[in-house]
Amino acid sequence: MDSRNTSYARFVTEQPHVVIIGGGFAGLSAAKALKRAPVRITLIDKRNHHLFQPLLYQVATAGLAGVDIAQPIRRILRRQQNVTVLLEEVEAVDPEKHELALADGNRIAYDYAIIATGVSHFYFGHPEWERHAPGLKTLEDALEIRRRVLIAYERAEAETDPLRRAEWLTFAVIGGGPTGAETAGALAEIARRAMAGDFRHFDPGHARILLLEGADRVLLSYPEALSEKARQQLETLGVEVLLGARVKAIDERGLTIEGPAGTADERLEARTIIWAAGIAASALGASLGAPTDRAGRVEVDPSLAIPQCRETFVVGDLAHIEQDGDLVPGVAPAAIQQGQHAATNILRLMAGKESAPFRYKNRGSMATIGRKSAVAVVGKLELSGLFAWLAWLTIHIFFLIGFRNRFVVLFEWAWSYLTYQRSARLILEEAGEASPSES
Amino acid sequence: MDSRNTSYARFVTEQPHVVIIGGGFAGLSAAKALKRAPVRITLIDKRNHHLFQPLLYQVATAGLAGVDIAQPIRRILRRQQNVTVLLEEVEAVDPEKHELALADGNRIAYDYAIIATGVSHFYFGHPEWERHAPGLKTLEDALEIRRRVLIAYERAEAETDPLRRAEWLTFAVIGGGPTGAETAGALAEIARRAMAGDFRHFDPGHARILLLEGADRVLLSYPEALSEKARQQLETLGVEVLLGARVKAIDERGLTIEGPAGTADERLEARTIIWAAGIAASALGASLGAPTDRAGRVEVDPSLAIPQCRETFVVGDLAHIEQDGDLVPGVAPAAIQQGQHAATNILRLMAGKESAPFRYKNRGSMATIGRKSAVAVVGKLELSGLFAWLAWLTIHIFFLIGFRNRFVVLFEWAWSYLTYQRSARLILEEAGEASPSES
């Protein structure tokens, strides 16, 4: 047991120590599920906040402020006295020794571990693309994308050459999954609506929004009919949807795509590129010594534990688990169910029972396309249009943590619905970046 | 005339070109005062947003999000068709040639210029102190201070040595003017209230908040009785007010002060230090070739123009102008009045008249000390306590730009009043800084 827990340990030396790594949906739901359990919990995250990732694209597109969708983890768990929250980075987990190593050099022993550090971006073997095409996983990512989008309009206003201005007014989103489709839809609305009237040297409505997808339809995990509906909704908003478009190169001024077999490469000039394609599992997964899939996700057993240690669980996006032949998807409901399940299995093991196998209950999925349309699948029901959008809105606001956030997000939505305005249009300087105020 | 204005210039070649540098209170009020004037206006700022500076300390102390007190300048002026907003940095103004140089190398000619680039921090000849004691002028400053304050609590939770923990839990604010007093009051409330219950290894209520002032009272620009009231209110909140304390040295772990004459130097260990003391005028002032005062402020003539050019005005915090033997203070109402006055003088000059002299109408001043007390001077009336706080609240919310901001800020205030919670407690990583997630 590490020294920092000594004072606390005086009262509870007999209780097992559960370490949860990651304060996302999976980690937080595990901690909450152990609320009344006779355990000491240490929740470790390298960030101080839980993030409501499904709305992150709204921060990137200036619709919401970061504070509207994030909450300090220790605030969420303040009343749960059996949890200590630590802002630290975990470098490795050693399931043999039941011990983990922190980036600051300290080590923490555990009886049970739940690892839920999620995924980040994968650039298909081209890490150099990241500079030109940031992804969207953290609040910092979202603020950086917002900065780039807003700066692009500013540069267009200062540019006199029409071709170069057009480059600044071209926005390419790579990846036609829910994040890519939602981001492209919001970018189109900014161009057509929120920016209207703000510039003197061009019409923001002429901005081009490209959505590039390598497969032959967007929202690949949805039924085909809904993919088609989503494409139509995107095009109605003014998004150019390019299917079968595989990215070959990305640089500061644009990208090159390989069209469907037989077609020539195509060059697209776009100063703002957003990456919503590949994912790579958190590096912590590899430290476990358990088998991983191609994306680096840890292949857990049916109990969600790693094969060599039944007390070490991996949950959420970092876990690879199949059900009826399909991978359980990396979505918030699956992460929440897995976190709860790992907690239940810890209680079973503490009671001398065997772990129980995990089973994902798919209650449906939905993606929003712009300001008043969406697509949703609920069981056998396929929905699209305004009704799906209202369902999307209700569910997303309901699952936001904290009454204040729900209220403020609802207000922001109503406000932008009525005024077409996006309130978070602030450009913040970033150190080391050449922003106009530093050049 | 620079090339970028050519398309616009087709319609309005006969109209004089007014350049306004800076989108703060002074620059914005000048632009608005010229709304119906037959002029072309170019408003240039290196940031894209107008900032409601009187509430900036609330962002630094996690009470408000940046978006609540900032608004894109081009959004504010979108309906004013005679204004073009440019996100650029101005490097120099040449009043002889009626021309200014942008950081990107371009030059812009003007008929009239209003320079309103304000002030930044002055470290009494110790620029190396800035690293350890950031000031509070921009949104980036506020977010950096917030990050440091929140990180300090996180470090205290991870620290096992009681002395080192105490260093993390000591916060020193240097400068007892309104910004310093307001910041110290808010820091005390965070410690006593917002953080209560969030940590397992210490009681945030034991944090020390120090307010250091070189003079013998806080709020030096207020009547003595109100200074004394403010000191009492600060001490009630738990702030240690150190008067006659002059800073001799600042480093990463604390600072050294020289007490009143005859007393020995004192060392104070404090990991978080905030600078609210000296100010230095924007460097642009020096480029004008006009006389400046010790702080670098430009000594303008009674019309607010520089002595050698009656078409080049300096307004707001950057201007040095005396009235009845006193310097007109660097506060928002003075900046607004000066911006409007410079606009009026431009119209007079255009009509072939002489410029009129500026006269500052002091309608009062107020500072808030924590959650429900404040001090205010309105004419001969001196107020303190709850009533002054309500007046402060009303006036500050009323003068915020935009209905949305007023509504959200009022909601945030009501929320934190009822729950003692401060909603913006997010730590964002900053590139190049050693935050826990990078170490």
For B54, other C-beta atoms within 10 Å of its C-beta total: 22
Whether residue B140 and residue A429 make contact (CB cut-off 8 A), yes or no, is yes
Q: Which residues of A263-292 are buried (b: 16+ CB within 10 A; e: fewer)?
A: eeeeebebbbbbbbbbbbbbebbebbbbeb
Longest Cα–Cα distance of chain A, Å, equals 74
Per-domain residue ranges for chain B? 3-118+282-350, 124-277
Look at residue A240 and give its three-state secondary structure.
strand
CA distance A291 to chain B (A): 27
Q: What ipTM goes with this model? A: 0.85
- A14, A140, A154, A182: which one is catalytic? A182
For chain B, say whether A107 makes contact (Cβ under 8 Å).
no
Nearest Cα to Cα of residue A53 among A26, A77, A75: A26
> What is the residue-averaged pLDDT of chain B?
90
In this complex, the residue of A47, A104, A423 whose CB is nearest that of residue B427 is A47
CA A270 vs. chain centroid, Å, equals: 24
CATH number, domain B3-118+282-350:
3.50.50.60
Q: What residues in chain A have per-residue pLDDT under 50? A: 1-12, 431-439
The arithmetic mean of pLDDT across residues B412-429, rounded, is 80
What would the DSSP string read from start to end of B222-270? S-HHHHHHHHHHHHHHTEEEETT-EEEEEETTEEEEE-STTSPEEEEE-
> Is B213 one of the annotated active-site residues of the chain?
no
CATH entry, A3-46+88-118+282-350, from 3.40.50.10490, 1.10.3210.10, 3.50.50.60, 1.10.3720.10: 3.50.50.60
Chain A residues with CB inside 8 Å of B65's CB?
65-68
- B182, B189, B213, B412: which one is catalytic? B182
In whole angstroms, how far apart are CA B242 and each of A162, B175, B187, B248, B274? 60, 10, 16, 14, 15
When pLDDT is cut at 50, 70 and 90, the band that residue B430 belongs to is low
CATH entry, B124-277, from 3.50.50.100, 3.30.499.10, 3.40.50.300, 3.40.47.10: 3.50.50.100
Query: In chain A, positions 193-252, which contact chain B (CB-CB < 8 Å)?
Result: 197-201
Per-residue pLDDT of B162-218, as tens digits, reads: 999 999 999 999 999 999 999 999 999 999 988 888 999 999 999 999 999 999 999
Could you tell me which chain A residue has the CA closest to the CA of B195? Answer: A75
Name residue B381's amino acid: L
Backbone dihedral angles phi then psi of residue A287, each to the nearest 5 degrees: -70, -15
For chain A, say whether B136 makes contact (Cβ under 8 Å).
no
With a cut of 50, say whether residue B438 has pLDDT above it.
Answer: no
Topology alike, domains B3-118+282-350 and B124-277: yes
pLDDT at A45: 97
pLDDT at A109: 97
When pLDDT is cut at 50, 70 and 90, the band that residue B416 belongs to is confident
The arithmetic mean of pLDDT across residues B64-69, rounded, is 90
Whether residue B160 and residue A3 make contact (CB cut-off 8 A), yes or no, is yes
Is residue B240 packed enough to be buried (19+ CB in 10 Å), middle (13-18) or exposed (0-12)? middle
Chain A residues with CB inside 8 Å of B41's CB?
none
Q: How far apart are the first and last CA of chain A?
A: 51
CA distance B170 to chain A (A): 19
With a cut of 60, say whether residue B12 has pLDDT above it.
Answer: no
Fold topology of A124-278: FAD/NAD(P)-binding domain (3.50.50)
When pLDDT is cut at 50, 70 and 90, the band that residue B434 belongs to is very low
Q: What is the pTM of this model?
A: 0.88
